[in-house]
Amino acid sequence: MKPKANRRQLKNYLVANKTHLKMMFANIILMLLVFAVIIVAVIIPFYHEIFKIHDVYAQHYSAKFFVVLLDRLSISLLVILFFNILYQMIVNHKFCGPLINFSHTFKKIARGDLTRKVFLRRNDFHKNEAAQVNDMIDSLSKHIMTIKKDHDLLMATLEDIMAGEMTPTERVNSLNTLKKHADNCHDQLSVFKIKGKDD
């Protein structure tokens, strides 16, 4: 089970972030446009029968049928709108909720903290992207741990050299060890491509 610290709160279902809100509004506007098209498509035939036909009975029947149909249609459309909003809250949350998790993880990485990973719930979207980010964190951690280990050994060797008397052979061996650890650090750092002034 996921740690409590990594669980998303219920309030985030209402507005997870700006993307979530924009997606919900765009979908509601689309749904309202669909409703408008449906209502206009229903009204046009009745408009002709109510206002263009001179038979009073036909006009009365058409108007009565139109009112009943519009009443039923408006109730149906309101129910559909309600379920659409509910659906959008849930589905968009599964899309946008993980983005908040990504954002928190990226902020930690930017501060040099590689201990936080992206935790998603079972039905969330972006599972592949989360796995890629977590693999990236593991890879960075591995490189940094190797560099740190070689750095510690390099410092220990330097302290040995500075601490006391050494024979020329011991000094050469220590310098070779220093070079080996420095080369290991260089190899690990060479993996990273950083845009610099010379690029």
pLDDT tens digits along 32-41: 888 888 878 8
How many structural domains does the chain have?
2
Q: Mean pLDDT for the chain?
A: 78
| Residue 1 covered by a domain | no
25's tokens: 């509004």
Indicate if 84 and 136 belong to the same structural domain: no
Indicate if 79 and 166 belong to the same structural domain: no
Would you say residue 163 has pLDDT above 50?
A: yes
Residue 133: closest CA among 120, 114, 117, 111: 117
CA distances from 111 to 96, 99, 145, 152, 153 (A): 23, 18, 17, 22, 26
| Residue 47 covered by a domain | yes
| Residue 81 covered by a domain | yes
Q: What is the pLDDT of residues 65-95, one digit of tens each?
A: 777 877 888 888 888 888 888 887 777 778 7
In this prediction, residue 1 carries a pLDDT of 41
| Residue 163 covered by a domain | yes
Indicate if 110 and 140 belong to the same structural domain: no
168's tokens: 């020329």
Which residue, 94, 114, 134, sits at the end of a domain?
114
Which residue, 114, 137, 160, sits at the end of a domain?
114
Indicate if 90 and 132 belong to the same structural domain: no
Question: What is the span of the domain harbouring residue 169?
Answer: 126-191
| Residue 119 covered by a domain | no
